[in-house]
Chains A and B, each alone.
Chain A
Amino acid sequence: MNLNSWQAFLIISIAIWYLSHQAGRLDRLHHRIEVSVAALDGNLGRRAGIVSELANSPVVDPVTSAVLAQAAHDALAVEPHDLVERIDLETELTEVLLASLDEDDEVAEWRTDIATSQLLDDLTIACGRVHLSHTFHTDAVNDCLNIRNQWIVRFFRLAGYAELPTFLKLDTRLPSSLSN
């Protein structure tokens, strides 16, 4: 059976449409990942900023202060300012927070100072936002990898020059003294 030219045309059109459709999906997903990285980046930056303010609080003891300031400074000072490169430092900041804010009594003492109490509230909110935006970023990477792994996407190089997205391993636990 001979394939009429219009049949061939139809099949090729459908194939092109499908490929362009998949490419469009990938484009949207890459865009979503960029947005979610930017949001996470911003929220992490705010968190580190609040931590360094907290380190400067007069009621915080000098050792805690030094530890907090160092961790916040590390997270803020990486050059170039790329989230993927500093993600381990952000996790270290989380760990420092977990370690220094684990005693409810100590934190209650800091809270007697109004400015510090306000900072702790801000920190709670910032940590919550970091957690949410990290969750949303992971979702986006998941969605994207599902498509990137399809053979047709790889064969036709539909992702173009876009890098393969990576999960950002980040500890987003909230220190116990802030969770109430």
Chain B
Amino acid sequence: MLRIGIVCPYAWDIPGGVSAHVRDLANALIRKGYYVSVIAPAESDDDLPFYVESTGKPRAVRYNGSVARLSFGPLVARRVSKWIEQGQFDVLHVHEPLAPSVSVLACWAAKGPIVATWHSSMDRSRVILSLAKLAQTVMEKVTARIAVSPAARQTMIEHLGGDAVIIPNGVDVQYFASAEPMDGWGAEQKSLVFFGRVDEPRKGLAVLMSALPKIRTVFPDLKVLIAGPGNCDDVLDELSDEDRASVTQIGLVDQNEKPNVYASGTVYIAPNTGGESFGIVLLEAMASGTPVIASDLAAFKRVLQDGESGKLFTNEDSDSLAQAVIDLLNDEEEQERLRAAGKARVVEFDWDTVADEVIEVYRAVTVPGLTVEPDMAGQVLGRLGRLRILPEKESDL
């Protein structure tokens, strides 16, 4: 069985698409009997799963329009090198290699079979480009590239050329299938759920909030549940007192509560305005049995099959959102149909299926007898010590 080292650049214990992806992939691989070790920044060393190694507390940095918690510095670099040296991995799987964090450090410190997964799709901005130049030498070491969506693949090609295999995100379908509404929420009263960092403009909470007055003229008893870390008082303060009273904010949600949060809504709303390459939240909501209304971003359209398994509205248009919500809340048959369609759709994205595809990539790059080794050339002294530039021969392969 392969020994797999996985690198997650974002904080393990802060909810986020990439860290959730890494966690679910690691769990699926472990279920299939592989040896897995994950290295990631973590706010606290308590409650980490047995397979996670922490690089310490991350620092908050703005990146790709989000506030990301990244980890870097000499101490972190040493921990990463040590982890690679001790891990004896057959393959190193690095996530989001452009994030200036543990992933870059791991690429620097290692050589051998390296797989990289690209998560974000982002516009070609100057900030990213300069980082891409910096990371280019790192990316040249990557043996195989995976993108989670056509959009993420496109971003990667624009920045670095080459190509990537597309393997979508997975959803732990069983985990979400047992979702129950939280106390005080549920079928009796109509409600909407929003999930995501609330102070991040591209998550689109403002679009939902400006649609709210119009929706509440039709459904005065409607409640809104907002889950996710951050402070959104500036958005909520623009609401009238009555509208504001219909909104409940529960802040950061514990991983175990997540399915129940999705299930607490009559409808799940994803008003994201951009920067989403996949839309895992939609699949999670659908797996929890909640119909979805989402902005018509390319990634969302793909997941929702152009409106077949969830409703779409015009991006950043709160009137269009309000109309879609009103129509769906009025049509219980359509809600029922969407629940069934959603459950059928998520099976295609179950982690056990997705992990098999990732394993095929591992198998394509691993070489028996060759493990991931520390790369001395990544360190200045190692480079100075070399006289001739000849690739090392592995004659016993």
User: Residues 365-377 of chain B: 1 if any A CB is under 8 Å from the residue's CB, otherwise 0?
Assistant: 1111010000101
Whether a CB of chain A sits under 8 angstroms from the CB of B363 is yes
User: Residues 24-52 of chain A: 1 if any B CB is under 8 Å from the residue's CB, otherwise 0?
Assistant: 11111111111110110111000000000
Asked if B360 contacts A24 (CB within 8 A), the reply is no
User: Residues 149-174 of chain A: 1 if any B CB is under 8 Å from the residue's CB, otherwise 0?
Assistant: 00000000011111000000000000
Which residues of the other chain, A, contact B165 by a CB distance below 8 angstroms? 132, 135
Secondary structure dominating the interface of A: helix
Whether a CB of chain A sits under 8 angstroms from the CB of B140 is yes
Whether a CB of chain B sits under 8 angstroms from the CB of A23 is yes
| Given known A32-B141, A38-B370, contact A136–B391 (CB-CB < 8 A) | no
Asked if A35 contacts B389 (CB within 8 A), the reply is no
A34 to B143, CA, bound (A): 10
| Given known A25-B140, A132-B361, contact A31–B392 (CB-CB < 8 A) | yes
Which residues of the other chain, A, contact B327 by a CB distance below 8 angstroms? none
Which residues of the other chain, B, contact A38 by a CB distance below 8 angstroms? 367, 370, 394, 397
Asked if B367 contacts A35 (CB within 8 A), the reply is yes
B366 to chain A, nearest CB (A): 7
Q: Contacting A42 at CB < 8 Å: which of B367, B377, B384? A: B367
Among the stretches A55-63, A104-112, A114-122, A139-147, the one at the interface with B is: A139-147
Asked if B360 contacts A128 (CB within 8 A), the reply is yes
A88 to chain B, nearest CB (A): 21
| Given known A28-B141, A35-B112, contact A162–B370 (CB-CB < 8 A) | no
Q: Contacting B389 at CB < 8 Å: which of A128, A133, A146, A162? A: A162
| Given known A38-B367, A39-B364, A43-B364, contact A31–B144 (CB-CB < 8 A) | no
A12 to chain B, nearest CB (A): 15
Whether a CB of chain B sits under 8 angstroms from the CB of A125 is yes
Whether a CB of chain A sits under 8 angstroms from the CB of B49 is no
B27 to chain A, nearest CB (A): 23
| Given known A42-B368, A159-B389, A160-B390, contact A28–B137 (CB-CB < 8 A) | yes
B368 to chain A, nearest CB (A): 7
Q: Contacting A35 at CB < 8 Å: which of B143, B163, B368, B383? A: B143
Which residues of the other chain, B, contact A135 by a CB distance below 8 angstroms? 163, 165
Asked if A32 contacts B370 (CB within 8 A), the reply is no
Asked if B161 contacts A36 (CB within 8 A), the reply is no
Q: Contacting A32 at CB < 8 Å: which of B140, B163, B394? A: B140
Asked if A34 contacts B389 (CB within 8 A), the reply is no
A31 to B375, CA, bound (A): 11
A33 to B365, CA, bound (A): 11
A50 to B371, CA, bound (A): 25
Asked if A39 contacts B367 (CB within 8 A), the reply is yes
Whether a CB of chain B sits under 8 angstroms from the CB of A20 is yes
Which residues of the other chain, B, contact A26 by a CB distance below 8 angstroms? 389
Asked if A30 contacts B391 (CB within 8 A), the reply is yes
List of 3 A-B pairs having minimum Cβ-Cβ separation, nearest first? A132-B364, A160-B389, A30-B391
A-side residues, CB < 8 A to B, are 20-21, 23-36, 38-39, 41-43, 125, 128-129, 132-133, 135-136, 139-140, 142-143, 146, 158-162
B-side residues, CB < 8 A to A, are 111-113, 137, 140-145, 161-163, 165, 360-361, 363-368, 370, 375, 377, 383-384, 386, 388-392, 394, 397
A-B contact pairs, 29 of them (CB 8 A): A21-B137, A24-B137, A25-B140, A28-B137, A31-B141, A32-B141, A32-B142, A34-B394, A35-B365, A36-B365, A38-B394, A39-B143, A39-B364, A39-B365, A39-B367, A125-B360, A128-B360, A133-B364, A133-B365, A136-B143, A136-B144, A136-B365, A139-B162, A158-B389, A160-B388, A160-B389, A160-B390, A162-B390, A162-B391
